[in-house]
Amino acid sequence: MAPGLFIAFEGPEGGGKSLQVGLLAERLRSDGADVVATREPGGTKVGDEIRAVLLGLGDYAILPETEVLLLAAARAQHVREVITPALERGALVVCDRFVDSTFAYQGGGSGLDMSPLRTIQAFATGGLEPDIRFLLDLPVQVGLQRRHAEPASVNRIDLADNSFHQRVRDAYLNLVTAAPRQWVVIDADAAPDTVHETIWRELRRVRANPRYVVTE
């Protein structure tokens, strides 16, 4: 097993994941840690190209099956080019979204069957899983309002209807129920500093526990 630590941030829209990834990475670095902060889809040059196709507001439709395959392609590159080498040198990798986003959005939101999704994820990642998953959870209406308050950052998937986003949130909560020891659920409907302090405290607590690397 790689010596580093792989932390994934997950959640529905508007939970402030990107901000929290940045704050956590900065604090860990000022503590002297070797940190790689990255995101999905993206994190590599080809991944960023795929992100532009997936999330751009171009004049084309993308089927959920196509989304899964594009996301998996970006993920395969990301794991091998960025995440695994960083973990092998002992770095902390903080990733804004990973496989659970596919289970929540394309599985929960779009209703695709989970079984092929799992198979495709295993192929894309080579079996790599996060050591810790933070779910930044908040009510869908609150998250979408925050998101639409910054129109420049609205992407193609944000524009799906509210029931889609509700299914995404429900799917995340179901993933937590199915494997509670893999997750730390954070109330993201709070001020960013409060959310950051909670994440910091929880990360210290989890790392102090010799069983923090959970495989269920």
* Of the candidate residues 19, 46, 53, 55, the single one contacting ligand TMP (CB under 6 A): 55
- What b/e readout covers 24-40, taking b as 16+ CB neighbours within 10 angstroms? bbeebeeeeeebbbbbb
Q: Is 97 in the site for ligand TMP (CB under 6 A)?
A: yes
* Sole binder of ligand TMP in the list 50, 82, 92, 105 (CB under 6 A): 105
Interface with ligand TMP, residue 175, by CB under 6 A? no
Whether 93 and 86 have beta carbons less than 8 Å apart is answered as yes
Q: Which of 72, 170, 84 is CA-nearest to residue 117?
A: 72
**What string marks each residue from 12 to 51 as x (binds ligand TMP by CB under 6 A) or -?**
----------------------------xx----------
Name the minimum Å distance from CB 178 to ligand TMP: 18
- Closest residue by Cα to residue 93 from 125, 118, 49, 56: 125
CB of 114 to ligand TMP, least distance (A): 13
The strand pairing partners of 93, in sequence order, are 6, 36
Q: Which is nearer to ligand TMP, 34 or 48 (CB)?
A: 48
Interaction of residue 101 with ligand TMP, rule CB under 6 A: yes
Give Cα 200 distance to the centre of its chain: 17
- Residue of the chain from 66, 145, 155, 162 that contacts ligand TMP (CB under 6 A): 155
Residue pair 33/86 in contact (Cβ under 8 Å)? The answer is no
Binding site for ligand TMP (CB under 6 A): 40-41, 55, 71, 97, 101-102, 105-106, 155, 157-158
